[in-house]
Structure 1
Amino acid sequence: MRFAYSVFLLGATLVSAFPTATTNGTTPTITLDYTTVVPTAGNASLGYFKYQNIRFAAVPTGDLRWAKPEWPPVETEINTGDLAASDVDCSSAEDCLYLDVWAPANITEGKKLPVLVWTYGGGFTGGSKSENTPEGLFNLSTEFVFVAYNYRLGITGLGNGPTYAHEGGTTNTAIWDVQQAFEWTRKYISAFGGDADQITAMGFSAGASQVLFQMTRFAGRAEQLFKQAYVMSPGFVPGAGHHHAEQFWLNVSSKAGCEGGKLDCMRAIDFDTLSTAADDVVDAYTYQFQPRVDGDIIADTYEAQFYQGRFNFSGPLVLSHELHEANSQAWSGVNTTEDVSTYLRIFFPAITDDVVERALELYPESDYSSPGLRFADMKQSFDLTAHNLAATHAMKNNTWNAQVALGSATHGTDQSYYWYSTYTLSSSTGSSSNSTTGNSTGGPTGGAGGGMGSSSVDATVAVQMQKYLLSFVLTGDPNTMWADDKLYWPKYNEKNSTAGTQIIFNTTLSIADDDLATDKSLFWNKVLWY
C-alpha cells in the first residue's frame, strides 16, 4: 500500500503532531508540524527527490548568536527550497542552519529505510551541506534516505573563553548545531521514509570530528543519537587553555569595537564586520579556530575521553585515514631543530618541557630529511591519525579500519571516490526535473571540504568503496551486500594481528596491519600537553 495522499490546500496553515506525506499533483509534499516542503529536484523515474533548505533551527542572529540552537518557528508558506541559496554556508551567511533531505520516490506505507547523515569538513571554518551529493550512491541503491546539514563556523561556531562564557555565550555552538541536526533527523525523518533507529553518521575531517564529539559529548552522559558511524580522517587540533581563548575573544572584541568582550555589543555587530575582525586576529596571531574543552558539551578532547572510557557509543564503527594525510610536505616556518619545539608550544601553549622532549624522542630527527617534515609528521598524528586508534581501542577493537593509499593519499583523496558520480542532479527551485552531466572527477569542486587530495578517480575502485559504504549503511556491515564485487574487509581484531588489521584502498585492494598502532598515537591520545 502506498502513502495515503491528500490534496494540499493553498493558503491553509497545516500543523500536525506527526509529520505526513502528501502530494500536490505529481510532486510529493512533506508536511511537518512547523513547515511544508516540496522537492526542488528529482522525479519518480529517477527514483528519488531532493528537498532543499529545510530549517532545522531558528536563525542564529541577535540574541541567538552564540546561543544554543532553538527549534525553528512555524512557517506559513510552502518551502520550495528558496529560503537561501542552494549552496548556502555558515562562513558567508549567518542565516545558514538548513539541511537537505534526499528521499526515495514511491516508498510503500510503513516502510522504514536506513538514514545516512553527512557532516562536511573544512577545518571548522569552511564547507557546506552542498559540497558533496549522493547521486553516485543512489545509482547503486535507493533504499536509504540521505541528510546533509550546515553548522556554524569560525567565530560564531567556536566562541569560547572565560569572559565569553561569563557574559552568557554558549561555548562551541558548532557542536550544539550538530546535536540539533541529529535531533531533528530523529524527530522528522520518518516523514521522508527514514527510520530514526537506523541512522548512520558519516563525516570527513572536521565533520568526522563532529561525529566523534557527539559520541563523547557531556563526558558520555548524553543520549546516543545515531546507531552507527563511518568516520574518515577526523581532523581536530586539540589546542587548549583558557588563556589562549580569552586573549582571542578580547582581541576580536576590541577589533570589532566592543572593548571588554561584552556579549550584547558583540551580538549587535554585523556578521561581515565580525568575521573580518576574527580573520584579522587569526592572521596576526597563532590562534587556531578549533573546538575547545569547555567542561560542558566538550568535557575533554574526544581522544582523551575515548582513552579514558568516557563516551556513549556502542558501534558499529568504521574508521579510515589517508597514508599521507599531511606529512608529505614540510611544515612552513619550521626550518631548524629548535623550530620543532617552538611550534609544539605554539599549538599547545600549556605543554611542559618533559612532554616536548618525549615528542622529540618519538619522532627522532634522524628519521626525517628536514625539520619541516619532522613537524609535519607530528601534526599529522595529533591533528588527524591518532584519533582513530583512540576510538578503535574504545570500541575494544571491534571496528572496521581502513588506510587510503590511492594517488597522493593526502587529506581528502578518498572524498572524490566516495562521492563519485557520472551525473549531477540539477536543483531548479520549484522544479522536479533533473539533468545529467558528465563528472569524470567524481565530485563537485571543493568536495573534500578543505582536503588536499587529488580529484583523479579510478571509477572501479570508487564504486567498490561506495559499495562498502552503502553495505554498512544498509546492514551495519561493509561486507554484507555486493560481497562478490569486493574484497572481504575483516574487523580490526578479526585476524589476531598484534597490530590490528585494516583494509588498504588502492588500485588493488589488500589487507595489512594497522600502521597507526604505535607509541606515537598512544602518546597523543593521553593528551599530556593539557
Structure 2
Amino acid sequence: MHSGCLVAALALGLSAVHAVDPQVPLNYSTYEGTPYSNGITAWLGIRFAAPPTGNLRFAAPLDPPIVGAVQAADQHGPYCIATAASPSVTTTSEDCLFLDVYAPSNASTNAKLPVFVYIQGGGFNANSNANNNGQGLITASGYNIVVVTFNYRVGPYGFLGGAEVAAGASLNNGIKDQLKALQWVQRYITRFGGDPNHVVVGGSSAGAASVSLLLTAYAGRNDGLFHATAAESQSFAAMLTNQESQYSYDNLVMRTGCASADNTLACLRSVDIAELQAQNIATPFPGAQKAPLYPYAPIIDGDLVPDYTLRLFQQGKFIHVPTIWGDDTNGGSMFAPKTTSTLGESNSWLHDQFPPLTLTQIRKLNQLYPVDGTPTFNATGRYWRQLSNVYGDLRYTCPGLSISSIYWRAGLPSWNYLWNVEDPAQVAQGYGVPHTVEVNAIFGPENVAGGSAPVSYYTGGVNAPIVPIVQRYWTSFVRALDPNLYRAPGSPQWETWRPVAEDLDGSRLIFQTDATRMAQVDALTRRRCEYTTSIGVDIRQ
C-alpha cells in the first residue's frame, strides 16, 4: 500500500488493511491514483471510452483500448473542444473522454459508499465546469461519499444532426458519452469504494439539462444507472428534430469544402481538426435572424431523445427517483446582451434563441415583463434587465417549478430551491444572483476550476457561512436520498415541494446567507411561470 494512503487511513483511526490501494486495476488498464494528506485519494484522467477521433468522429462511444502498463492518474484529461474555440488551446482535445474519481483514502472495495456523479455545463457547446475538485464534498460528507466528474463531447462532435449522421454515425453522442460514463461507474466504482446501487447524478446548466434528458431518456426507461438526481440551475433550450437539424450538417459540409465529396460524412471525418474548428462556428436556427448563444444541442431522434423534454415529463415518461430542482434569482443576467436598448432588440434576441415564439406569445411576454421601473446599471441598455428576466424565467426557473409539481403528482419526493446569495461584486455589476453561481458553494469555492468563484464565498468573505450549509444539504441528499437527514445543525428543514392551490403554488428553500428559509413562490413569479410553462412545448423545450 502507498505510504500516503497508509498515513491518511491511520490518521482517521481506521484499519489501513482494507483501504483501496491507489493502484486500481480495471479490465482494460491499471491506474495509479494520488493519496492526499487530508485522507482523500484522487484518480485523474481515467479514460472511460475510446478516443472519438478518426473514423470514430461523430460515432457513439466505444470501450476504451486495452493498455498493459500502469498509467499515472495524476493529471486531468483534456476537456472537449468547444464551438468556436481555437484548436491550439492545449487544455482541449478531440480525444477528451476522461473522468476523475475522488474517494476517501480509507474506503475499502466493500465500503459501498454513495456516489455523486457530476455533469458539467457549457450549453452543450463547451465543457465549462471541467475538473471541479470533489474533495470539498467528500470532506463535508464526513468521508462518506465518492465523487466522479467527467467530460463529454459538445458542439458538432457531440450533437451534429442530419440524415447522413443518423445513417452513418450516431446522434446525440454527448448524451451517449454521459451514459457511457454512468455505465463505467456501474462496472468499476466498487474498486474505488463506491456503491453502484446508490448513485446520485447532479449537474449544472447544460449538466442539469442532461439530468432532465437522462430522466426522460428512452421515454423514461430505467436502466438502473442512477437512483436520484439534483438539477442545479436547470436549463431548457429549444430542441430540434433530426430533420430540422439538417441545416447544421449541410452548413458544415459546405464550409469545410466537403460538398463535392461522394461521401460527405467520410469527408468531414477526414478534415483536419484545425480546419474543422475554423468552420465550427455558430449559425442561426431556421427561422431566426442571428445565431443563438448555443447553436448545437440534443436532437429529438425518436429513440434516446424521443420527444420534447417538457412533453415527456408531462406525459409521465420519466424515471421515478427522488429529485432536486432549483435555480438562481437572476438566471438570465449573464446571457442577455448588456447593450439591449429597445424592445425590438429584446424581442429579436429572444426569438433568436427560441425561433418558434409567435408574435402573440412575444406580445404576452412583453406584458408580463414590462421595462418600466427596471433599474439600469452603468452604461447598460434600458432593456437588458427586462430581457434577462424573461430569459431567466423562460429557460431556467419556471420549468423547474413545473417539473417539481409533476413529481409531486406522481407521488415522488422532490425538493426545490432558489439561490438568492448576493455577491457584492456581482450585484454592483448588475448581475444580481446569476446562473449557476451556487455551484461554487456546493463544491466549495476553492474546488471549482479556474478560480472563478466569487471572492465573498471564500473563508472570511460575507457569504462564506452559506458554503457548509449547502454542502451539508447536498451531501445528505447523496448519502440518504434526502437533504435533511445529515443537514447542518440549525439549518431549516427542507420541505418537499407540495403545491397548495395550483401547480406552481408551492414552497421552496431560499438559500440566503444567514437567512436560509422555506418560502412560498411569490404571486408574480407564479403568474409569469404559469404562462411560460404553458407555451414550453410550443417553443420546443
TM-score (norm 2): 0.81
Question: Aligned residue for 2:199?
Answer: 199
Inter-partner Cα distance in structure 2 for 1:225 and 1:27 = 25
Amino acid at match of 2:315: Q
- Report what 1:293 is aligned to: 300
Give the superposition deviation at 1:129. Answer: 6.6
2:69 matched residue in structure 1: 77
Match of 2:404 among 361, 367, 392: 392
**1:28 aligned onto 2:10:** no
Distance 1:330 1:270, change over 3 A: closer
Question: Does the 8 Å contact 1:128/1:149 carry over to 2?
Answer: no
2:494 is aligned to 489
Letter in 2 for 1:402: Y
Q: State the Cα deviation string for residues 45-81 of structure 1 (Å, max 9, x = none).
A: 5322111111111111122111111111222111212
Q: Which structure 2 segments of 5+ residues have no match?
A: 2-15, 82-91, 376-381, 423-431
Give the secondary-structure state (helix, strand or coil) at the position aligned to 1:52: strand
Q: Percent of pairs identical after alignment?
A: 28
Distance 2:372 2:455 in 1: 28
Task: Report the Cα distance in structure 1 between the residues aligned to 2:110 and 2:374, rounded to whole angstroms.
Answer: 59
**What CA distance in whole angstroms lies between the structure 2 residues aligned with 1:129 and 1:324?**
20
CA-to-aligned-CA distance 1:324-345 (integer Å, 9 cap, x gap): 1114885356443334443343
Deviations for 1:119-154, whole angstroms, at most 9, x for unmatched residues? Answer: 111222222674311222222321111111110011
Alpha-carbon distance in 1 for matches of 2:110, 2:420 = 42
Match of 2:38 in 1: 46
Match of residue 354, structure 2, among 345, 348, 364: 348
Q: Distance in 2 between matches of 1:108 and 1:202?
A: 24
Distance 1:126 1:247, change over 3 A: same
Q: Does 1:520 align with 2:513?
A: no
Quick check: 2:51–2:97 contact (8 Å CA) kept in 1? yes
Structure 2 CA distance for partners of 1:175 and 1:454, relative to 1, 3 Å: farther
Counterpart position of 1:414? 438
Q: Deviations over 1:18-46 (max 9, x none)?
A: xxxx99x995321122111110x224x53
Q: 1:296 to 1:147 in 2, by over 3 A?
A: same
Separation in structure 2 between the aligned mates of residue 274 and residue 455 of structure 1, nearest angstrom: 40
> Is the 2:53–2:94 contact (alpha carbons within 8 Å) kept by the matching residues of 1?
yes
Q: 1:522, CA displacement in angstroms?
A: 5.2
Structure 1 Cα separation of the partners of residues 251 and 266 of structure 2: 16
Q: Which amino acid aligns with 1:34?
A: Y
Q: Quote how far apart the aligned CAs of 1:224 are.
A: 4.3
Q: What is the rounded CA distance, in whole Å, between the counterparts of 2:103 and 2:345 in structure 1?
A: 52
Q: SS state of the match for residue 387, structure 1?
A: helix
Over 6 Å off, 4+ runs: 494-498
Give 3-state SS (helix, strand or coil) of 2:231's partner.
strand
**290-299 vs 323-332, greater mean Cα deviation:** 323-332
Cα 1:330/1:155, change in 2 over 3 Å: closer
Contact 1:59 1:72 in 2 (8 A): yes
Residue 110 of structure 2 contacts residue 190 of structure 2 at CA under 8 Å; is this kept in 1?
no
Are the structure 2 counterparts of residues 329 and 391 from structure 1 closer, same or farther at C-alpha, using a change threshold of 3 Å?
Answer: closer
Q: Is the 8 A contact 2:239 2:308 kept in 1?
A: no
- Which segment drifts farther, 482-491 or 144-153? 482-491
Indicate the larger mover: 396-405 or 93-102: 396-405
Determine whether 1:316 maps to 2:328: no
Residue aligned with 2:300, SS:
coil
Q: Distance in 1 between matches of 2:242 and 2:348?
A: 20
User: Per-residue deviation at 1:220?
Assistant: 1.7
CA contact under 8 A between 2:40 and 2:135: conserved in structure 1?
no
Tell me the equivalent position of 2:155: 154
Whole-Å separation in 1 of the counterparts to 2:389 and 2:72: 48
**How far has the Cα of 1:491 moved from its partner?**
1.2
What is the CA-CA distance between 1:104 and the residue it aligns to? 1.6
In structure 2, the partner of 1:37 is 31
Q: How far does residue 524 in structure 1 lie from its aligned partner after superposition?
A: 3.5
- Bigger mean CA offset, 49-58 vs 275-284: 275-284
TM-fit CA distance, 1:292: 2.8
Q: Distance in 2 between matches of 1:244 and 1:301?
A: 13
Q: Does 1:56 align with 2:48?
A: yes
**The residue matched to 1:502 in structure 2 has which SS?**
strand
CA contact 1:215–1:224 (8 Å) conserved in 2: no
> In 1, Cα distance between the equivalents of 2:499 and 2:481?
16
CA contact (8 A) 2:418 2:510 kept: yes
Q: Which residue of 1 aligns with 2:228?
A: 228
Out of 352-361 and 485-494, give the one that drifted further.
352-361
Query: Higher mean Cα deviation, 202-211 or 329-338?
Result: 329-338
* 1:88 partnered with 2:103: no
CA drift at 1:245: 2.5
**Inter-CA distance 96–72: structure 2 relative to 1 (3 Å threshold):** same
Structure 1 residues 361, 396: closer, same or farther in 2, change over 3 A? Answer: same
Aligned pair 1:263/2:244, yes or no?
Answer: no
Per-residue CA shift, 1:76-98, capped at 9, x if unaligned?
Answer: 1112126xx52510013011101
Which residue is 1:401 aligned to? 416
- Report the 3-state secondary structure (helix = DSSP H, G, I; strand = E; otherwise coil) of the residue aligned with 1:305: helix
| Residues 330, 347 of structure 1: alpha-carbon distance in 2 compared, 3 angstrom cutoff | closer
- 1:211-222 alignment to 2 at 5 Å? 211-222=211-222
**Pick from 473, 479, 487: which aligns with 1:468?**
473
Q: Residue 444 of structure 2 aligns to a residue in which SS?
A: coil
**Cα contact 1:479–1:489 (8 A) shared by 2:** yes
Q: Note if contact 1:202-1:208 (Cα within 8 Å) is conserved in structure 2.
A: yes
Any idea what SS the aligned residue of 1:217 has? helix
Find the aligned partners of 1:169 and 1:518 in 2 and give their Cα distance.
44
8 Å contact 1:321–1:403 — kept in the other structure? yes
Cα distance change of structure 1 residues 97 and 328 upon mapping to structure 2, 3 Å threshold:
closer
* SS of 1:133 mapped into structure 2: coil
C-alpha root-mean-square deviation of aligned residues, in Å? 3.1
Q: CA distance change for structure 1 residues 514 and 331 in 2, over 3 Å: closer, same or farther?
A: same
Letter in 2 for 1:70: L
Partner of 1:142: 143
Contact 1:230 1:317 in 2 (8 A): yes
Q: Compute the displacement of 1:303 (Å).
A: 2.2
Residue pair 1:88, 1:128 contacting (<8 A) in 2 also? no
The answer (yes or no) to whether the contact 1:413–1:453 under 8 Å persists in 2 is: no
DSSP-derived class of the 1:50 partner? strand
State the match for 2:132 in structure 1. 132
* Structure 1 residue 118, shift from structure 2 partner: 0.9
Q: Alpha-carbon deviation of 1:276? A: 2.0
2:316 partner letter: G
